[in-house]
Amino acid sequence: MKLKRDAAALNSKLLRRPIQKCFILFLIPTFGAFIIGFIYPFLQGIYLSFCKFITTRNATFIGIDNYKTALTDSTFLHAFWYTALFAIVSLLLINILAFAIAYALTREIKGSNLFRTVFFMPNLIGGIVLGYIWSMIFDGVLSRYNTSILLESKYGFWGLIILMCWQQIGYMMIIYIAGIQSVPEDMIEAARIDGASGWQTLIKVVIPSVMPSITICTFLTLTNSFKLFDQNLALTGGSPFEFKSDGTIIKTTEMLALNIYNTFYGSNTAARGTAQAKAVIFFVLVATISIIQLRATRNKEVQQ
């Protein structure tokens, strides 16, 4: 019997070796595409952030001067605080509204499947298209009050918030619905038997049970808010402008991604190195905030 078992184990090992070799062969194209499409451009971008562009294809190494210029650029600092405020407001509104809608649609109301489809559909439309659609809507509404979304920064801010909510709430709603439906029925039934009200059941049972969904939705909302570009470009383009005494032009509704784009494709070719430095700072910023957020929400998952 022992000899048979040894022979079977040896045959199993001999059969696994060709499979393992084929597995590596299948990984090579994907790994090569990952290096060409992500790793190489990423490393090249970091290197160019330490360079000064003489022409479009000619750059010389100058050290950390680009980072000094980026961190003292008033337009970049304004875009950072503007983006941070936008991210906080959109994070709260999108997740609260998405969870409320998801909770309502899991209460066995009539037409819930239709409502899910309708709420999800805006997520299928491209950001540029959404930006121009809502630009026409807002201009049509605000024109009655002799103003425009391009003339008041507060209208631009809330216009971006409305657009972001309209696009993202449906997607987050689907994630929350999946989380709510996975809550064990016996836990909810036990809470009802103990005399818990609907509100107490929601706070004490449902929300703690859907913390994994909250973690995912918070991460997606936060990163999407910081990376917002196409909607910002199409809806406001950074308008209105504010002229400083030192000649600096502050685009009051310009977010970080649009600021980097405008810096890189501006009239000054030498500023492209600064734009690359801004992009690296932007990456570090978003990565740091995302890691902190993931750890904070996952700790609550463990506690629950």
Mean pLDDT within 128-152: 83
* Percent share of the chain, pLDDT over 70: 90
Statement: residue 96 has pLDDT above 90: yes
* 10 has a pLDDT exceeding 70: no
Residue 23 has pLDDT above 80, yes or no: no
Give the mean model confidence (pLDDT) for residues 216-231. Answer: 92
Q: Choose among 202, 210, 205, 203: nearest CA to 182.
A: 210
What band does 3 get if pLDDT is binned at 50, 70 and 90? very low
Between 75 and 266, where is the model more confident? 75
- Give the residue-averaged pLDDT of 152-161: 89
Question: How much is the average pLDDT of 258-269?
Answer: 86
Does position 279 have pLDDT exceeding 50, yes or no? yes
Question: Where does the pLDDT of residue 12 fall: very low under 50, low under 70, confident under 90, or very high at 90 and above?
Answer: low
If DSSP states are collapsed to H, E and C, what string results for the chain?
Answer: CHHHHHHHHHHHHHHHHHHHHHHHHHHHHHHHHHHHHHHHHHHHHHHHCCEEEEECCEEEECCCHHHHHHHCCHHHHHHHHHHHHHHHHHHHHHHHHHHHHHHHHCCCCCCHHHHHHHHHHHHHCCHHHHHHHHHHHHHHHHHHHCCCCCCCHHHHHHHHHHHHHHHHHHHHHHHHHHHHHCCCHHHHHHHHHCCCCHHHHHHHHHHHHCHHHHHHHHHHHHHHHHCCCHHHHHHCCCCCEEECCCCCEEECCCCHHHHHHHHHCCCCHHHHHHHHHHHHHHHHHHHHHHHHHHHHHHHHHHHC
pLDDT higher than 90, residue 19:
no
Per-residue pLDDT at 247: 75
Report the C-alpha gap between 50 and 276 in whole angstroms: 8
- Grade residue 153 by pLDDT with cuts at 50, 70 and 90: confident
Does residue 286 carry a pLDDT above 60? yes
At 139, is the pLDDT very low, low, confident or very high (cuts 50, 70, 90)? confident
**Nearest of 67, 80, 120 to residue 250 by alpha carbon:** 80
**What is the pLDDT averaged over residues 222-249?**
87
pLDDT surpassing 70 at residue 28 = yes
Q: How confident is the model at residue 219 (pLDDT cuts 50, 70, 90)?
A: very high
Q: Are 190 and 115 in contact (CB under 8 A)?
A: no
pLDDT band at 60 (very low <50, low <70, confident <90, very high): confident
**pLDDT at residue 148, as a whole number:** 77
Q: Which of 176, 265, 273 is nearest to 229 (CA)?
A: 265
What is the band of 177 on the pLDDT scale with cuts at 50, 70, 90?
very high
Mean pLDDT estimate for the chain: 84
pLDDT category at 138 given cuts 50, 70, 90 is confident
User: Residue 106 pLDDT more than 80?
Assistant: yes
pLDDT band for position 18 (cuts 50, 70, 90): low
- The structure's pTM equals 0.85
Confidence of residue 278 (pLDDT cuts 50, 70, 90): very high
Count how many residues are written for the chain.
304
> Does the pLDDT of residue 187 top 90, yes or no?
no
pLDDT reported for residue 85:
95
